[in-house]
A and B are shown apart, each in its own frame.
Chain A
């Protein structure tokens, strides 16, 4: 396997674009990534796109606008983990030696309100909406480990504070603990400001072999690990960990092993905070703290900007926004720029190693459909 590097990144400011199609805005992220990388557009050997709502041949429709077709274009769907999955597919293509330069794009236009369930997702018929799924995980954590409502809300306060420093964030305003706790309940204990907004957006990366990376302008960021896993059946009634936690844990362990690293090597991370509890559980599943101590980690400021391990410096899904297929790519845009010391007011000083985690696709019996973990180093 060859080493793979991120050599260019681009994204558009996330927001709501009711009048626009993917074809109207995703190309801007591609153009920015291309010029950031300094590679000639003719060098792109393959493109991988991720979208859940984008319809058929979405990547071709976007690249046609840029007169950039002819090479293999793969369209990936893996729910909230789609962006991470498209990076994994691109990574495989470069690592295997098949292509030297690959374009990876995540993009999405979201419907307002709750994400409608898949027809086969029977638990949602019973009333388990997506926020309810996370609320159930929160209530279990509160019972078992004493996680408090305030600690949950602090995740939202922290991420909005970071998002306020990110010109690409959908919501660039700080919120107070009181505002979070008193916003309307969606699925208890989760309130509205603990649930990601519905956001449109696009993000793009150019990834390449070491040989290409040596010749271009930007400081290359090495992809030290790229891992994709799917959920498996677990039975908590028999004392096994829940499928959702098991999935993130397996993906994290495999990534640390591939990178030859430990959780303590990570300087900055982007994790899946579609709901506040998601971030708390990610701390624990990815080994940032022991099981049950995620609430304390956020309360003590460890994961705030300026803390020992800043998490979601982009503002996370809660403030940057969560256009499903775009999210995993946007995380790596943020983290590669952090490692290149290009993040302005939200720069994590001296960051050398970063971790990106997304997971999603609620699937009864196996918890979550897909998760990816990427580790980046400079």
Chain B
């Protein structure tokens, strides 16, 4: 099992704290979130203090797809380093939480509310110094 964040943590650059993820031996991606022991709220990225009730008793949980596309936008104006146009949207995991992520390898025609999305990992941005920056992404679930 590898986590992309290990590499990130070794760098001295200030990184966007987009949250951690894991890729298993079958190439399945899981987001690392937290579940509150007091109120049950699931949060991503991880929060040591529950975002909902303020309890300090949280534990790491693995959030796996598929997610359901709720809403999205096709973004045309972006800072340097992104492919254009670039699609971002909210995927909802089982009525528990929604996560914002880029949506890749999706045609304009198939983007609609209710679309099943799988998690994947890919290059989201090429940084000013040419470094490829990875993140979790959504892609339409293959049948």
Binding site for B on A (CB under 8 A): 113-114, 116, 119-129, 131-132, 135-136, 138-140, 143, 184-189, 233, 235-238, 365
**Cα(A237)–Cα(B77), bound, Å:** 28
**Cα(A125)–Cα(B100), bound, Å:** 11
B38 — which chain A residues lie within 8 A by C-beta? none
Indicate which residue in B71, B74, B82, B95 contacts A185 across the interface (CB closer than 8 Å). Answer: B74
Contact B75 A187 (CB under 8 A): yes
18 extra interchain contacts, Cβ-Cβ under 8 A, other than A129-B78, A140-B71, A236-B70? A120-B16, A122-B17, A123-B100, A126-B102, A127-B78, A127-B102, A128-B88, A129-B77, A131-B77, A132-B73, A132-B75, A135-B73, A184-B76, A186-B75, A186-B77, A189-B73, A235-B98, A238-B95
What are 14 A-B pairs at a CB distance below 8 A?
A120-B16, A122-B16, A122-B18, A122-B19, A126-B88, A126-B100, A126-B124, A127-B86, A132-B73, A138-B73, A143-B71, A187-B76, A188-B73, A236-B70
**B56 at interface by CB-CB < 8 Å:** no
Known: A233-B52, A237-B93, A238-B95. A125 touches B86 (CB 8 A): no
B18 — which chain A residues lie within 8 A by C-beta? 122-123, 125-126
A139 — which chain B residues lie within 8 A by C-beta? 71-73
> Which residue on A lies nearest to B87, using beta carbons?
A127
Q: Which 6 A-B pairs have the closest CB atoms?
A: A125-B16, A135-B73, A122-B16, A122-B18, A140-B71, A188-B74
**B101 at interface by CB-CB < 8 Å:** yes
Contact B16 A185 (CB under 8 A): no
**Cα(A237)–Cα(B99), bound, Å:** 10
Q: How far is the CB of B108 from chain A (nearest CB, A)?
A: 10
Q: How far is the CB of A286 from chain B (nearest CB, A)?
A: 23
> Which residue on B lies nearest to A120, using beta carbons?
B17
Contact A122 B124 (CB under 8 A): no
**Cα(A233)–Cα(B71), bound, Å:** 19
B88 — which chain A residues lie within 8 A by C-beta? 126-128, 132, 136
**B45 at interface by CB-CB < 8 Å:** yes
B1 — which chain A residues lie within 8 A by C-beta? none
**B97 at interface by CB-CB < 8 Å:** yes
A125 — which chain B residues lie within 8 A by C-beta? 16, 18, 124-125, 133, 135
A131 — which chain B residues lie within 8 A by C-beta? 75, 77
**Cα(A121)–Cα(B17), bound, Å:** 8
Q: How far is the CB of B78 from chain A (nearest CB, A)?
A: 6
Indicate which residue in A122, A135, A235, A238 contacts B75 across the interface (CB closer than 8 Å). Answer: A135
